[in-house]
Structure 1
Amino acid sequence: MERKRQISPTHVAFLLLFFLFPSLNNCRVPPRQLQASSSPPVLMAQSPTDSQMVTEVQHNHFDKDLIIFVSLSVLAVIAIALSAIIAWISCRKHHKDSTLKGLSLTPVFSKLSSLKIVHKKEVVEMIDYSLLDSATNHFSEDNILGEGGFGCVYKASFNEGSLAAVKKLDGGGMEYERMFDNELNFFGRIRHPNIVSLLGYCIHGESRFFVYEFLPNGSLESLLHGSSHGSSLTWHLRMKIALDTARGLEYLHETCNPPVIHRDLKSSNILLDAEFNAKISDFGLAISDCNQNKASVKLSGTLGYVAPEYVLDGKLTEKSDVYAFGVVLLELLLGRKPVEKMSPTQNQSIVTWAMPQLTDRSKLPSIVDPMIRDTMDLKHLYQVAAVAVLCVQPEASYRPLITDVLHSLIPLVPVELGGTLKFSEPSPHQN
């Protein structure tokens, strides 16, 4: 294809001057032309009046030249200033566009030269279905990373070995459309290191897809309750995960305007990257003050994580997320699922089982997850148990703000893991 020739702002400015002020092209005063004559020149005496007229004419020519020179100089300065402003605005706009693109396409997608992307809104991109189909090997079962109540998550491998996680929403109808639009809306304005990054989305017929950054360590649920039973998660790594999750929630509750209530915080929605940095995912049920009345929101969530006042009275506040965080903290502490079957017809929640023992210092060390038992400072263990007890209080007003929880956890996490704890001797985790 033939490249289009670019015209700089300076060229535009001078072209405008050329067409707007054509008289400037002929601004020079033509020199006097001497008439040739065969006869010798005749010297004539000039009268005082003639001499004065010549002087005035010369003076007028000088004034005209000076005015034209000054005008040209001023116009040139204005043209240069205008071109500089236009260039600055263009440069800034280009930088802003580049920044937005850099936010929306993380390093995973920056390597994908064959991506077919169409801009949707702000920083969320639409991705071609054929690319997702190929990257997931036609959504093969071998590429399933996990399953949730609304669909499966697939591992996608793109060009040059770049990876992503593709979530396919199963089903249809208004409920799925609402969840899809809701998550797309929230991810369009949420950016935080402890919130999973949405790389793009896809609409193909009745199917809906989300493309997230790939986090190799999967979900906290799979690490705690899967085949490894949390063996890869040391005490300090668990505290780091709790701290990262609290930071993500604080961003939603305190920084976002209006505040965002996640409404479905749980261990399966906390994902871990290669360095065990925790990131909150799945905003399909999230709400904010700007778009709906929280008191009239349809009851949704996951059994074991839903706050009592929400179940009983439909009351929903930021403290509902704090309750769910307390349940996750108990999972990290005790290694137990949020709800466990006692019999075919009876379930027991981790909160009901643990509460009487969490406040008893003599019993607490014996109920800690065997994978981390006796590997922590008991004083730190009591502090974490106290935070968990406060978070799962039945009365919402007794629960702390997530900011208070965050400040309680920071001193318990080593400096190299994002906290402020320093060791005078090797920690159990390092041993």
Structure 2
Amino acid sequence: MSEAASQNGSQEEDLELPLFNLSTIATATQNFSPHNKLGEGGFGLVYRGKLEDGKEIAVKRLSLSSWQGVKELKNEIKLISKLQHRNLVKLLGCCIQGEEKLLVYEYMPNKSLDFFIFDPKQGKLLEWAKHFQIICGIARGLQYLHQDSRLRVIHRDLKASNVLLDNEMNPKISDFGLARSFGGDQTEEKTNRVMGTYGYMAPEYAFDGLFSVKSDVFSFGILVLEIVSGKKIRGFHHENHGLTLIGHAWTLHKEGSSFSLLDERLRDSPHNRKQVLRCIHVGLLCVQQSPMDRPNMSSVVVMLGSESELPQPKQPGYSTEMASVKGDNSFAKPKSSSMNGMSFTMLEAR
């Protein structure tokens, strides 16, 4: 890549990825002009840019106060540079120069998934067939991370805002700052620093620090329920007498009325009733309380693409509102607290 330049020989060897000059990124983004801002979160800002050859890029500029330091940045770079899949966002390069920490991605013209499924106007633009395509694409991306990639990668922060959409509305999983890779026969790991987004976190991770491919499966199940219903996992309890979105879906399933979970905006447009019910059923299988009961992503991909009979889901996690898990908390300003003798890092939504 002609625009990329080595700023430090050891860094380039360490990161195994082209390094951009800061001046190149500044020119591409018009000196990080507010007019080019694509989004904002706890990590900092994302800008749209255009290189001299006309290639459009998205630049993730980490703020000085960001929770994501050089260690997390290098972790994201090392992991994603080794991953290649149509349902994963492509990392083109990076820049670590002075106090600037930048990641350069392929540009996704349709922003993130949350922009469409939660926005009253934008949500009307996608028919059910596209919703189903997005669900299946995310499932294939996770299957690749968990099973088919060179590394077994646990994302640990899968949510609607971390799924980007290309010009054909194909989903691409992004933001690997919290991802961890497993080697050999390792199946789970425990951490004393729980980081992620409450609401999407599996119970065993949120409370005991245990994460595995099954904790990602739980997050995927939440995402499926959000895509089908058009409702956010956090805040839903205000409308349903203490039931979370999971609890509401679980109650409807037991009553045999799961279809009423479907977003009202989709009911008057073409839809496949069996597909809708199957997605809800699979979502509930993914959010079961016990990790052992949840399917792996390979099974999820098969279940979504077939008409075979599905096992009945058991009691899900977080079916009712719990005082210990509040808000759509993610990373911005750390607030240390403890629960069961364990340190938590709770941060604002990004």
TM-score between the two structures when normalised by the length of structure 2: 0.78
Q: Tell me the equivalent position of 1:405.
A: 300
Larger-gyration structure (1/2): 1
Q: Among 181, 202, 205, which residue is 1:310 paired with?
A: 205
C-alpha separation in 2, matches of 1:402 and 1:226: 28
Are 2:267 and 1:373 equivalent residues in the alignment?
A: yes
Is the CA contact (8 Å cut-off) linking 2:262 and 2:276 kept in structure 1?
no
Percent identity (aligned): 37
- CA drift of 1:178 comes to 1.6
- Secondary structure of the equivalent of 2:267? coil
C-alpha separation in 1, matches of 2:53 and 2:132: 35
- Secondary structure of the equivalent of 1:336? coil
Q: Within 5 A, what are the aligned runs for 1:378-393?
A: 378-393=273-288
C-alpha separation in 1, matches of 2:225 and 2:16: 36
Q: Within 5 A, what are the aligned runs for 1:275-354?
A: 275-290=168-183, 294-340=189-235, 349-354=244-249
Change (3 A) 1:334 1:175: closer
Q: Tell me the equivalent position of 2:57.
A: 164
- The aligned amino acid for 1:264 is D
For structure 2, the 5+ residue unaligned runs are 308-350
Is the CA contact (8 Å cut-off) linking 2:259 and 2:277 kept in structure 1?
no
- CA drift of 1:386 comes to 0.9
Q: Tell me the equivalent position of 1:364.
A: 258
C-alpha separation in 2, matches of 1:175 and 1:272: 24
Q: Among 117, 125, 132, which residue is 2:5 paired with?
A: 117
Q: Tell me the equivalent position of 1:134.
A: 27
Is the CA contact (8 Å cut-off) linking 1:365 and 1:373 kept in structure 2?
no
- CA drift of 1:123 comes to 5.5
- CA drift of 1:148 comes to 2.0
- The aligned amino acid for 1:371 is R
Deviations 1:33-87 (A, max 9, x none): xxxxxxxxxxxxxxxxxxxxxxxxxxxxxxxxxxxxxxxxxxxxxxxxxxxxxxx
Is the CA contact (8 Å cut-off) linking 1:239 and 1:409 kept in structure 2?
no
Deviations 1:257-308 (A, max 9, x none): 4411000001111111011111110100001124998212520111210001
C-alpha separation in 2, matches of 1:166 and 1:188: 16
C-alpha separation in 2, matches of 1:172 and 1:181: 17
- The aligned amino acid for 1:299 is V
Is the CA contact (8 Å cut-off) linking 2:4 and 2:18 kept in structure 1?
no
Q: Among 37, 41, 48, which residue is 1:144 paired with?
A: 37
Deviations 1:116-163 (A, max 9, x none): 433824752100111111111111222111112211111112235421
Q: Answer with 261-270 or 380-389: which moved more.
A: 380-389
Greater share of helix: 1
Note the aligned Cα RMSD (angstroms). 2.5
Is the CA contact (8 Å cut-off) linking 1:263 and 1:320 kept in structure 2?
yes
Are 2:73 and 1:185 equivalent residues in the alignment?
A: no
Change (3 A) 1:296 1:281: same
Number of matched residues?
A: 298
C-alpha separation in 1, matches of 2:176 and 2:242: 27
